[in-house]
Structure 1
Amino acid sequence: MLSQRAARQSLNRLAIQRPSMTWELAKFAFPAAVATGKYMQIRPTSSTTDTTDPTKILAQQRLNRPVAPHLTIYRPQITWYASALHRVTGAALSGGLYVFATAYLVAPLLGWHLESASLAAAFGALPLAAKLIVKLGVALPFTFHSFNGVRHLIWDLGRNLTNKQVITSGWTVVGLSVTSALLLALL
């Protein structure tokens, strides 16, 4: 701290002693020039005098960079799929709910019939295979998201967090989801 103060005072004294310093001397970065702010370091804008478009240079540099391996070198795991499917099923279920609720609200204005009786009659008119596919299409995302949500709640309690337990619970969620979705679809 004392040495900094001494250096600052000596720079101030030099600046006062040589107030008429010319620019040619200032470019050599005398302490007085630095103290008075008359020093400016000058550097060329680029190391080459190439006048090509900078975006082309950047594109060329990007081509020379190594490509990250991303997902191509990793072995797929149940945790990846379960996490991705949990997000996708949550978005699909909530998006479907919002779409149906909005359609239900504007149905009287547009002349649509979305009341329960007409929906039940339309569903009843479908062939058996179509009914099974529709029911399975609604039940599978719902059961998977529900069971995987319970799995996440168990993790929030600090339980079943070892690698083996996470893998086991992931496959358990898949099995329970498929089984319960099939049971719901066959009702």
Structure 2
Amino acid sequence: MRNVVGKRFVQIQSMPASASADILNAQRLKRPNTPHFTIYQPQLTWLASIANRVTGAGLSVLLYGFSIAYLIAPTTFDSATVIEVIAGLPEGVKYAGKAILAAPFAFHSINGLRHLSWDVTRFLTVKSVYSTGYAVLAASAVSTIALVFMK
């Protein structure tokens, strides 16, 4: 019974590897392209997400880089030497360096609190996501300024 009803006739032919690659490339050309994110209008939600990842990665690289440098040359990177080098810099360079360090730290910390609030299912409407996003930007700016001018 199986031989009578379930038989299909499919022709199979052997091809060289180059022919199968040509068929695959022709099929790929017929596939629709997925839109790239650059065609969309930038939104606060995905800009904040990208900034959170970049600041987290940057702060991690800085921490691990300094830690490894301290392990390799502890006398060069000890606290007294670092303080002495920084004390010898011009005031403008000190403030710029503090701003470069404080801005990602402040943003990443405050945006992390925003993410924690999402984890406990707070502020998840579109309106509150945007309002907390703007609040994070404002609090980050204020915190950065406070950290830069802190003695």
Equivalents in 2 of 1:162, 1:41: separation in Å?
57
Matched, 1:44 2:18: no
Question: Which residue of the other structure, out of 47, 54, 68, is the alignment partner of 1:88?
Answer: 54
| Distance of aligned partners of 1:114 and 1:53 in 2 relative to their CA distance in 1, 3 Å threshold | same
Equivalents in 2 of 1:45, 1:178: separation in Å?
67
Structure 1 alignment gaps of length 5 or more? 1-10, 13-28
The CA RMSD measured in Å over matched residues stands at: 2.6
User: Cα offset for 1:84?
Assistant: 1.2
Match of 1:60? Answer: 26
Match of 2:68? Answer: 102
- Number of residue equivalences: 150
| Distance of aligned partners of 1:51 and 1:136 in 2 relative to their CA distance in 1, 3 Å threshold | closer
Structure exhibiting the larger radius of gyration computed from Cα positions: 1
User: 1:1-187 maps to which residues of 2 (within 5 A)?
Assistant: 11=1, 29-30=3-4, 42-45=10-13, 53-108=19-74, 113-187=76-150
TM-score (norm 1): 0.70
TM-score (norm 2): 0.84
Paired-residue identity, %: 42
| Distance of aligned partners of 1:44 and 1:142 in 2 relative to their CA distance in 1, 3 Å threshold | same
Comparing 58-67 with 133-142, greater Cα deviation is found at 58-67
User: Cα offset for 1:155?
Assistant: 1.4
Larger RCO, structure (CA 8 Å, separation 6 or more): 2
Paired amino acid for 2:51: L
Equivalents in 1 of 2:17, 2:104: separation in Å?
57
Equivalents in 1 of 2:9, 2:20: separation in Å?
24
Equivalents in 2 of 1:76, 1:162: separation in Å?
19
